Amino acid sequence: MTKVYSIGEFADELGVHRETVKKWCREDQLTYSRTPGGHRRIPHTELQRLTGEPSRRTDKVAIYGRVSGHAQKQDGDLDRQLESLTEYAHDHGWSIENKYSDVGSGLNENRRGLNELLDDAENADYGRVLVTYQDRLTRFGFSYLERLLEQYGVEITVVNEETDKTAHEELVDDLLQLVASFAGKLYGMRSSKRKRIVETVEAEMETDE
């Protein structure tokens, strides 16, 4: 859970009147978000900034690697990712404080390694997370994870900005999962129509290859 403060809580932490905090928000002197009900929420990073509390050191890092299946792991792809990130960190003079990894689809939001990273982020010593490619962290919603970690003072560094050209097979698997999921919601997970749709898409994928 992101550490944020209401107007009153933030004012209490600083020992100022809540109207002062509201004025800062109106004048864009504070970064804040709003709840669905319209209430302001101010991240802990703003309290750090105003009180001079030391921010996270970005020369202390965590690394994260992911492969979609055990075959890729056995082929050494996961080890190569982590080795590449370790080398990148050392080349920049950064110390590695923690390592996280997963074997699973980038569409799966409930990955053990990713969950551990998010759970640790609030109180971790590192101020940066390294990944080889953006889709190693997540197939969709990267900007949301980026924004969440920023609330803890942790930034994400993507080592390779271009598309991962070795991830074609994984992308096909993810697409088939999406098709199967949506077809299942429309026609039922055990319906023959769902099965035919998935088989048709799979056949088209094989033809394109």
Round the average pLDDT of the chain to a whole number and report it. 83
Q: Are 115 and 193 part of one and the same domain?
A: no
What is the pLDDT at residue 45?
Answer: 77
What is the pLDDT at residue 1?
Answer: 44
Q: Is 90 exceeded by the pLDDT of residue 39? A: yes
Domain around 183: 168-208
pLDDT in tens, 77-120: 999 999 999 999 999 999 999 999 999 887 777 899 999 999 99
Q: Are 125 and 185 part of one and the same domain?
A: no
pLDDT in tens, 190-200: 777 767 765 77
Q: Are 125 and 80 part of one and the same domain?
A: yes
Looking at the structure of the chain, the number of domains it has is: 3
Highest-pLDDT range among 32-36, 57-61, 135-139, 150-154 = 32-36
Q: Is 60 exceeded by the pLDDT of residue 165? A: no
Residue at 106 is within a domain: yes
Q: Are 150 and 70 part of one and the same domain?
A: yes
Residue at 173 is within a domain: yes
Where residue 193 sits, what CATH number does that domain have? 1.10.287
Q: Is 80 exceeded by the pLDDT of residue 31? A: yes
Q: Are 66 and 29 part of one and the same domain?
A: no
Active site residues: 68
For residues 38-52, average pLDDT: 86
pLDDT in tens, 62-87: 999 999 888 888 989 999 999 999 99
Q: Are 67 and 149 part of one and the same domain?
A: yes
Q: Are 117 and 149 part of one and the same domain?
A: yes
Q: Are 38 and 8 part of one and the same domain?
A: yes
For residues 159-169, average pLDDT: 65
Q: Say how far apart CA 59 and CA 80 lie, in whole Å.
A: 22
Q: Are 64 and 135 part of one and the same domain?
A: yes
Outline where DSSP puts E strands in 68-177.
95-103, 126-131, 155-158
Residue at 163 is within a domain: no
Where residue 79 sits, what CATH number does that domain have? 3.40.50.1390
Residues 6+ apart with CB under 8 A from 155: 58, 127, 128, 129, 146, 149
Q: Are 44 and 66 part of one and the same domain?
A: no
